[in-house]
Amino acid sequence: MFVPSLRRVARWLDVIAVLVILAAIARFVVLPRVRYDVLTVQAPPVSIATLDGGRFDLERRRGRLVFLDFWATWCPPCRDSIPLVQHFRRTHPGIDVVSVDVGEDPALVRPFAARFKMDDVALDPDQTVSHAFGVGGFPTMIAIDGTGRVRARWYGYFADIEHQMANVVARYGSAPKAAAAAVPVVARAANGR
pLDDT along the chain (193 residues), means of 10: 71 87 66 47 93 95 94 96 96 93 96 95 96 93 92 89 91 54 49 42
Range of the domain at 4: 1-33
11 and 92 co-located in one domain: no
Query: Do 56 and 130 belong together in one domain?
Result: yes
pLDDT at 26: 63
Q: How many domains does the chain have?
A: 2
Q: What is the pLDDT of residue 25?
A: 67
Are 180 and 125 contained in the same domain?
yes
| Straight-line distance from the first to the last Cα atom of the chain, in angstroms, rounded to the nearest whole number | 50
Q: Looking at residue 34, what is its pLDDT?
A: 35
Buried b / exposed e over 64-81, threshold 16 CB at 10 Å, is ebbbbbbbbbebebbbeb
Same domain, 10 and 100: no
Identify whether residues 47 and 101 lie together within a single domain: yes
